[in-house]
């Protein structure tokens, strides 16, 4: 039996690749555990925009049902190939070399994990990828006690947009003292 500080084997392998590649940031364990828990509640196709070294996809896979499929897009084709090799024996994960829009053909998604700030701002295109009742998880926010949310002296328009869009019911969750994420469910 694993404890709350243990990580699944596939996550550990992705973290090893992250260290080998010199990535200093990857999906936090707290976020990963949330992804696994949400994935366990989903059927159909789950997706990640911004594969990196595959840590997010590994967390999704650790919670996903046997019938769920996970697709992830990575812009860096060399890195995508490394992650494809890492997940070669995992039947429910497919890593695509390309930008986020390459995943359109796999939509709609029951869960969409977005870990790229530049993509998050395109809420209209992303909303079209999420099925009704589907969940978007947006990572890597800095907590703000203000409304509208202020980060580095500027309004965080991405967070403001997702929290107020009528197509979603959204909430910001504090992951740690210095990190938060958004969960948005498509109406």
The whole-number pLDDT of residue 40 equals 97
Q: Kindly provide the b/e burial profile for residues 100-135, where b requires at least 16 CB atoms within 10 angstroms of the residue's own CB.
A: beebeebbbbbbbbbbbeebbeebeebbebbbeebb
For domain 9-186, the question of CATH label 2.40.50.140 is answered with no
Residue matched to tokens 């812009």: 75
Bigger pLDDT: 66 vs 186:
186
What pTM did the predictor assign? 0.92
pLDDT digits (tens, 9 = 90+) for 105-123: 999 999 999 988 889 999 9
pLDDT above 90 for 89: yes
State the burial class of residue 159 (Cβ atoms within 10 Å of its Cβ: 0-12, 13-18, 19+). Answer: buried
> What percentage of the chain exceeds 70 in pLDDT?
97
| pLDDT tens-digit map of 1-20 | 455 568 999 999 999 999 99
Percent of the chain with pLDDT over 90: 83
Per-residue pLDDT at 23: 80
- Tens-digit pLDDT profile for residues 48-66: 999 999 999 999 999 999 8
Averaged pLDDT, 154-158: 94
Kindly list the domain boundaries of the chain, sorted by start residue.
9-186
Q: Does the pLDDT at position 183 exceed 50? A: yes
* pLDDT score, position 17: 94
Residue 158 is predicted with a pLDDT of 95
């Amino acid at each position: 039996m694993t404890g709350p500080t243990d990580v699944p084997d596939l996550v550990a392998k992705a973290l090893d690749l992250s260290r080998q590649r010199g990535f200093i940031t990857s999906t936090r364990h707290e976020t990963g555990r949330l992804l696994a828990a949400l994935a366990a509640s989903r059927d159909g196709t789950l997706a990640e925009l911004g594969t990196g070294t595959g840590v997010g996809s590994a967390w999704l896979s650790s919670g996903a049902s046997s019938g769920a499929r996970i697709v992830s897009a990575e812009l860096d084709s060399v890195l995508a190939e490394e992650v494809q090799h890492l997940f070669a024996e995992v039947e429910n994960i497919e890593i695509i070399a390309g930008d986020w829009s390459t995943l359109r053909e796999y939509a709609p998604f029951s869960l969409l994990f977005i870990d790229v700030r530049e993509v998050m701002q395109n809420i209209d295109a992303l909303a079209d990828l999420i099925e009704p009742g589907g969940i978007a998880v947006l990572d890597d926010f800095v907590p703000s006690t203000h409304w509208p949310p202020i980060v580095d002296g500027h309004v965080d328009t991405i967070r403001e947009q997702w929290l107020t869009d009528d197509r979603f019911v959204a909430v910001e969750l504090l992951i740690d003292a210095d990190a938060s994420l958004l969960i948005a469910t498509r109406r």
